[in-house]
Amino acid sequence: MPIERDLRGKRFFVTGATGFLGTALVERIVRQVPEAEVTVLIRPGRRADPGARLAREVIKNDCFDRLRDELGDRFDEEVGRRVRAVAGDVGHDGLGLDEDGRAALADADVVIHSAATVSFDAPLTQAVEINLLGPSRVAAAMAANGSKGHLIAVSTAYVASTHQGEAKEELLSENPFTLDVPWEDEVSSARRLRDDLQAESRRPDRLAGFAKKARGEIGAAGDHLVATRSEKLREEWVSEELVKAGTARALSLGWPDAYPFTKALGERALVEQWAGTVPITLVRPSIIESALAEPRPGWIRGFRMAEPIIVSFARGLLAEFPGVPEGIVDVIPVDLVVAAILAVAARGPESGRPEVYQVASGVRNPLRYGRLVELATGFFQRNPLYDDRGQPISVPEWSFPGRGRVQRQLRRADSVMTFVEKVITALPIRGRQAQLAARIEDRHALAKRALGYVELYGAYTETDARYRVDNLLALADGCDAADRAQFPFDPAAIDWDSYVLEIHLPSVLEHTRVRTKPGRSVVDKRPERQRRAILSPDRHLAVFDLEHTLMSSNVVDTYAWLASRHLGPARRARFVADLVRQGPALLALDRRDRGDFLRSFYRRFENAPLDRLREDSWELFHRQLLTRSFPDGLARVRAHRALGHRTLLITGALDFIIEPIRPLFDDIVCAEMEQRDGRLTGHLTTLPPIGEARAILLADYASSHSLSLEESVAYADSASDLAMLEAVGFPVAVNPESRLSAIARRRGWHVEHWAKAEGGSHRPLPLGPFDVTSPKAVLGR
């Protein structure tokens, strides 16, 4: 069976080409099957048509580097002549094909369906639409368009579930260990559940809960952002419930999760509907991992099942994982799977009934779980990863506990960290202190990730199932020596020690952002790169918040200073005591709605003499605000101006208070208060520029000055400024409070920690001169 000869000039139609297996398939066909043509089905993106996605996500992948080197200047021409994309989606009946796509499918000699939702924790309806219904949709489209091609449907060995004993290469209808579940009922049930959950998520009490959680996460960032986050939480809740439902249903029928469950029903649906009409072959790989040799040893695309566990182990984050030392980790290199599929395509369908080939290593050449752990431990002892301080990380000594014990430990840790996170986030801390919340959030994320690994993959390390490969070996026996050299797929060819130590683990480290060398990194640290980008001459605009961004002050501080400026000691003490008693209520209002807080608090200026306040504001600036300013922050304003950037201050502070710093900026937007007969009314003339209003104002300002927000920088300290920070291309969190600190850390935003200058007066209130005037007389109270 000369594979190259039998496939020469064939027309292939491939789904799932942007995935790990699909990319390897396309590359191998182009490189090793002369004159073969490949049409790939690609779902159009929001910003890219199928052709653009093919070029960006498939052809530019390093999988094609070998072919690129072999063809040199002819690469683009050759690939462009032999590979093309058509628009379509296996999640829709008819595949959504246009006329060009229907013609390509009709002319195809071989149709390889490798598209799938491969995540073990995909929402049930997503897995049903893609994994269960996808193969049948491809077969239906072939029949509807008159295709005489051979359909090779890529499934998974785990459709035979994880029962004890050997699973043969047979249709599931012939397997006594899999339940005969009507797939139509599962489809309608999943769709009905999705609709029910959508309705449940819109109940008033649910919506109120999502809104409350959103406010807790982003604070007084504005109604629109809270609503946006609330809707995101609603969608996530529906998705999480569908994940739980899929896992529960799969477990109830003997499968570990929704992936093999829906794949199994997909096989049944395909065979029941289309066997006898469309020539069908089922190829069932086990867990596909990095390449043994083709296109190069260690080639991999994205993280597979084992990589997150391996990296977490190497970083000392995963102290133990369930499984038994004698258990088998049934993995297979991707190039062996590709070779097996091409051998199946060359052989063609030889009978009227569907055939099954399992591509797995567990029976033919088993890799024991205990041996894998031993190899990984030795590798990382010899080649440790390094922490942020450049110190080697010692890998833990793994035990082999039961899955239940590990899950209980991680769930307890999750509960404790959830509680601690809530407490820390509620505290009025900022800057480096707020980083504690971010560090706790990171550790919480690691604990949840470890729990996810255990819940998702634990069943696969504990399985006693063995997947036979008799048909696969018979296929290999039919290959001549040249085929076995060019298209090897016998699992016996794998030397596991060599593969793990010399190919797979080095490849994992190559594709992971981990430190593999001691000492300080010679590469610029991320904050330094970000700071250079922020201070690039290419930037257009730098916009600053004031309070806790450029100086450690707030409206309560400035009011207290001005209101007590002319009070004697006794009256000042009573005034301060009264203000302190109001502190918790003021803080709560500020966190709930910054605009309401400012409008309410500024009422205290009613009937205050404006001329005296202007005079006192200069005294306030020199005696208090200047000593509370951040020299690095003021220097940053000057740096932007020196680079030719326009500078803008947006603050909720009153105009007469910030008058002394007006020369620092090109423009200032601040709060202004009505006045009548030389006295303030306590009413603002416009909405305070806070929250979402800042983002709108910023957009209008940039437009009026022909500036690009994508090339602009924003500095702020609070989650209430989230809309403004999101509006620019270069957001900077300055001395962030705990909520913003967590957001900035998650999104990779630049963070600055600016401090007050050493020395100087730090008195919160003036010492004199005193008179007997009351606060009411001074500020109209």
pLDDT for residue 781 is more than 70? no
Question: Which residue would you say has higher pLDDT here, 494 or 591?
Answer: 494
Q: Residue 576: enclosing H or E segment and its boundaries?
A: helix 569-592
pLDDT for residue 705 is more than 90? yes
531 neighbors 750 (Cβ within 8 angstroms) = yes
Q: What is the C-alpha separation between 484 and 477, in angstroms, rounded?
A: 9
160: number of CA atoms within 13 Å, CB side? 28
How far is C-alpha 128 from the chain's CA centre? 23
198 neighbors 238 (Cβ within 8 angstroms) = yes
Mean pLDDT of the chain: 85
Q: Give me the residue label for tokens 């940039």.
A: 702
**Residues whose CB falls within 8 Å of the CB of residue 682, separated by 6 or more in sequence, listed in order:** 602, 603, 604, 605, 606, 607, 673, 780
485 neighbors 502 (Cβ within 8 angstroms) = no
Question: Which residue would you say has higher pLDDT here, 443 or 267?
Answer: 267
CA distances 374 to 20, 363, 378, Å, are 28, 21, 6
**Fold assignment, 1-179+254-286+330-363+468-489:** Rossmann fold (3.40.50)
> Nearest-CA neighbor of 20 among 251, 303, 412?
303
* 349: confidence class by pLDDT, cuts 50, 70, 90: confident
Phi, psi of 363, rounded to the nearest 5 degrees: -90, -45
CATH number for the domain running over 531-752? 3.40.50.1000
Q: What is the C-alpha separation between 719 and 712, in angstroms, rounded?
A: 19
Q: What is the C-alpha separation between 167 and 178, in angstroms, rounded?
A: 10
* 405: confidence class by pLDDT, cuts 50, 70, 90: low
pLDDT for residue 77 is more than 60? yes
340 neighbors 489 (Cβ within 8 angstroms) = yes
CB atoms within 10 A of CB 718: 27
Q: Where do the domains of the chain lie? A: 1-179+254-286+330-363+468-489, 182-252, 300-324+367-463+490-521, 531-752
Q: What is the pLDDT of residues 728-741, one digit of tens each?
A: 999 999 998 878 88
Q: What is the C-alpha separation between 714 and 702, in angstroms, rounded?
A: 12
Res 475: pLDDT:
93
Predicted model pTM: 0.76
Q: Give me the residue label for tokens 């509807």.
A: 144
DSSP class of residue 438 equals H
